[in-house]
Structure 1
Amino acid sequence: MTSSPEKPAEKSADPVDSLVLHATDNHVSWITLNRPEALNAITPDQRERLIQHLSHASSDPDVRAVVITATGRGFCAGADLRGGPSTGGPPAGEPPAGERVAGERVAGERVAGERVAGERVAGERVAGDVARMIRLGAQRLIGAVLDCEKPVIAAVNGTAAGLGAHLALACDLVLAADSAKFIEVFVRRGLVPDGGGIYLLPRLIGPQRAKELMFFGDALTAADAARLGLVNRVVPPDDLEKTARDWAERLATGPTRALALTKQLVNASLDTDRTTAFAAEAAAQEINMTTTDANEGVAAFTERRTPHYRGR
């Protein structure tokens, strides 16, 4: 994969850059998880880098589509619960070492043997910690995919489990190698599905199918995922990158703002009543008709020629 001449890849000394590869090619932002030895389980640092790349794709007019994929035999094994390489920053929602938080006492301030109500001791987890970690961590990542203003394609090369499955399913289009698997692994760990799964799966396949996957935690083959409607297309592993590139470059030549508004409307449609949905649709078309691409599309239709969209 090569970077486009107008936006060459920049070298960085940040070690996370080797764990989340990035390049822009033909107006497509390619984001690649690169911890194959850990089946691309996501560390907090990688999660933040993914969010940064998706945010940049939204704001950069030269990026008109995004592909998320991975190296090795796994797409993403979920959040890294064992602890992977880190740049040393604290986990989301936790204070840096040595920094005092509200209500905390330091050495010299405590009466011997006293524990003040509400004070946290080393290693202690208090109510709200887990919810905060999920809200500021996995849910932010899934939200970044759903809210990205450019079409996002998942090219699932292998097993997508837990948060990794939700990362793929949050994308606008899902391509999968025929060797890929999707696993709602949470029940195997005695956990409630998080990272947006409770929101995504019922909307994609209905509540009863979603509960079947979440209650049993069985591996779903790529073919079965396609049959359920979770995957758009299953291809041989050797064809996955080519198919993703073909789809992404086709999207990158389309009316980018119209696609962004369409994505926004579809994602919101299941949460709104008909009156609200109709009003949002009409307002979106009003906004879209001010774009250069909409004018080009209408002109090309009347002039009986192929439109040339610029993403503006």
Structure 2
Amino acid sequence: MNDSLLFSLEAGVATIRFNRPQVFNSVNKEVALALQQRLRECQQNPEVRAVLLTGTGKAFCAGQDLAEITGPDSPEVAEIVEQLYNPIVELIRALDKPVVAAVNGVAAGAGANLALACDIVVARESASFIQAFSKIGLIPDSAGTYFLPRLVGLQRATALMMTGDKVSAPEAMQMGMIYKTFADDQFDAEVDALTRKLAAMPTKGLAYTKQLLNGTFSNTLTQQLRAEADYQLRAGSTADYKEGVSAFMEKRQPTFTGQ
């Protein structure tokens, strides 16, 4: 792997960090393919129990590196979307471990929408989100038109996508786009605490919850009730369920193993 995308694994938390601060962590083909590979590795590695996606420097991710798609032999934008960004979104949503986006700075274009595809999004108070596509005549991609209306409603999503207005992190939290904001000087500590907490929880139960949420907007009530019953049966057969019940009965803190 390359230095443009950093990876580390500690205490069950796999940290994937965009590392092109000189171009606000914009994504080129090399970074996108490396991110796809890291997400696959996180899926396959049982030591990984939570994933953190964040950036270095002043930006989380400024989206596609336009320098890569403006030359005479550059690929079509649609090709970039289909081969690079769509697989990332699908890998995030299929990953059977919680994925946290820690937005440390500006998240623009595809960078904003990759964050919104994650399970939990937190941000520095000084961070911001921009649906920047309309500013260069493109449409929101990377599942932005899927997730943003579901998070903030159709009217607000439409306005944000058409105007390209910047949304501060506190505004994003207020409108339900993200989970929480943290003061800049407390951001790293709060993100570390959140991801370590998730990594110590019953991983399979969290995965089943995620799979249920993936289907909730397309299922009928009856279908969702049946799916809940199915996944509850699976959750009830895990070692972590047995540990959770035992710990409750014995009035102690549970020690979950992710099994």
TM range (shorter): over 0.9
Q: Does 1:277 align with 2:253?
A: no
Q: Does 1:252 align with 2:199?
A: yes
Q: Does 1:81 align with 2:66?
A: yes
CA contact (8 A) 2:53 2:99 kept: yes
Q: Does 1:208 align with 2:193?
A: no
CA offset at residue 303 of structure 1?
2.5
Deviations 1:132-156 (A, max 9, x none): 4422221111122122111111111
CA offset at residue 236 of structure 1?
2.0
Deviations 1:42-65 (A, max 9, x none): 111111111111121122111111
Aligned counterpart, 2:176: 229
CA contact (8 A) 1:175 1:240 kept: no
The 1:43–1:133 alpha-carbon spacing in structure 2 relative to 1, beyond 3 Å, is closer
CA contact (8 A) 2:68 2:74 kept: no
- The whole-number CA distance in structure 1 between the counterparts of 2:128 and 2:229 is 39
- The whole-number CA distance in structure 2 between the counterparts of 1:309 and 1:153 is 20
- Structure 2 unaligned spans of 5+: none
CA RMSD of aligned residues (A): 1.7
Deviations 1:170-215 (A, max 9, x none): 1111111111110000110111111110111111111111101001
Opposite residue 74 of structure 1, the aligned amino acid is A
Q: Does 1:57 align with 2:42?
A: yes
CA offset at residue 131 of structure 1?
3.9
- The whole-number CA distance in structure 1 between the counterparts of 2:234 and 2:245 is 15
Aligned counterpart, 2:212: 265
Aligned counterpart, 1:178: 125
Aligned counterpart, 1:32: 17
Deviations 1:26-77 (A, max 9, x none): 1100111000000000111111111111121122111111111111101100
- The whole-number CA distance in structure 2 between the counterparts of 1:42 and 1:239 is 27
The 1:287–1:246 alpha-carbon spacing in structure 2 relative to 1, beyond 3 Å, is same
CA offset at residue 223 of structure 1?
0.9
Opposite residue 189 of structure 1, the aligned amino acid is I
- Matched residues, percent identical? 39
Give the 5 Å matches for 1:146-157. Answer: 146-157=93-104
Q: Helix, strand or coil for the counterpart of 2:52?
A: strand
- Structure 1 unaligned spans of 5+: 1-13, 85-121
Aligned counterpart, 2:54: 69
The 1:187–1:307 alpha-carbon spacing in structure 2 relative to 1, beyond 3 Å, is same
Aligned counterpart, 1:167: 114
Deviates most, 235-244 or 215-224: 235-244
CA contact (8 A) 1:293 1:309 kept: yes
Aligned counterpart, 1:87: none
TM-score (norm. length: structure 1): 0.79
- The whole-number CA distance in structure 2 between the counterparts of 1:124 and 1:69 is 28
- The whole-number CA distance in structure 1 between the counterparts of 2:185 and 2:219 is 41
Q: Helix, strand or coil for the counterpart of 2:68?
A: coil
- The whole-number CA distance in structure 1 between the counterparts of 2:166 and 2:182 is 18
Q: Helix, strand or coil for the counterpart of 1:137?
A: helix
- The whole-number CA distance in structure 2 between the counterparts of 1:176 and 1:130 is 29
90, 107, 112: which is aligned to 1:143? 90
Deviations 1:226-284 (A, max 9, x none): 11111211112222111111000011110000001101111221121111111111111
CA offset at residue 124 of structure 1?
9.8
Opposite residue 262 of structure 1, the aligned amino acid is T
CA contact (8 A) 2:42 2:48 kept: yes
Q: Does 1:44 align with 2:29?
A: yes
- The whole-number CA distance in structure 1 between the counterparts of 2:162 and 2:198 is 36
Q: Helix, strand or coil for the counterpart of 1:82?
A: helix
TM-score (norm. length: structure 2): 0.94
Aligned residues: 257
Deviates most, 21-30 or 146-155: 146-155
- The whole-number CA distance in structure 2 between the counterparts of 1:124 and 1:138 is 16
